[in-house]
Amino acid sequence: MIQLIKMHNEDCIHAILHFSTNIISFGILSGYSILEFLYNLGDTIKSFSILLLTDLCIGFHSPHGWELMIGLVYKDFGFAHNDQIIFGLVFTFPVILDTILKYLIFRYLNRLSLSLVVIYHSMND
């Protein structure tokens, strides 16, 4: 019984450590140099990049890809493999992410550049 409790505690500690490491790594990698690079791009390239990124990453056409990505993240955080949770996330996470990204695009794109909005709409149609 004590060994089971120790194993459970070790799993929880590993999950917390994985999560902390991922958050710290993301914070380090997403510095200001990336933002400066994005601001220096032309409006056409920005629009193309937004469309490419949203279609590749949030495409609803690849549930198997989402299943693999969510499964890897789920495993990276130290959780046990659970098909029901992964399938539930596969069907809900892309929709939520797409909605959030569209909101951010239309909210902040208007502030950044009006020509970028026009190019984005014409490329999206």
pLDDT in tens, 2-41: 776 777 677 777 777 777 777 777 777 666 566 677 777 7
User: 């917390």: which residue's tokens?
Assistant: 16
Distances (CA, A) of 93 to 8, 23, 62, 65, 67: 28, 19, 13, 13, 11
More confident residue, 72 or 8: 72
pLDDT reading at 82 higher than 80: yes
Could you tell me the two tokens for 36? 């400066």
Taking the model in full, what pTM does it have?
A: 0.47
Among 44, 82, 86, CA closest to 65: 86
So what's the pLDDT on residue 121? 72
So what's the pLDDT on residue 14? 76
More confident residue, 8 or 93: 93
> What is the enclosing helix (H) or strand (E) of 8?
helix 2-29
pLDDT reading at 54 higher than 80: no
More confident residue, 102 or 73: 73
pLDDT range class, residue 60, cuts 50, 70, 90 = low
Q: Distance (Å, rounded) from C-alpha 14 to C-alpha 80?
A: 12
Q: What is the mean pLDDT of residues 113-121?
A: 72
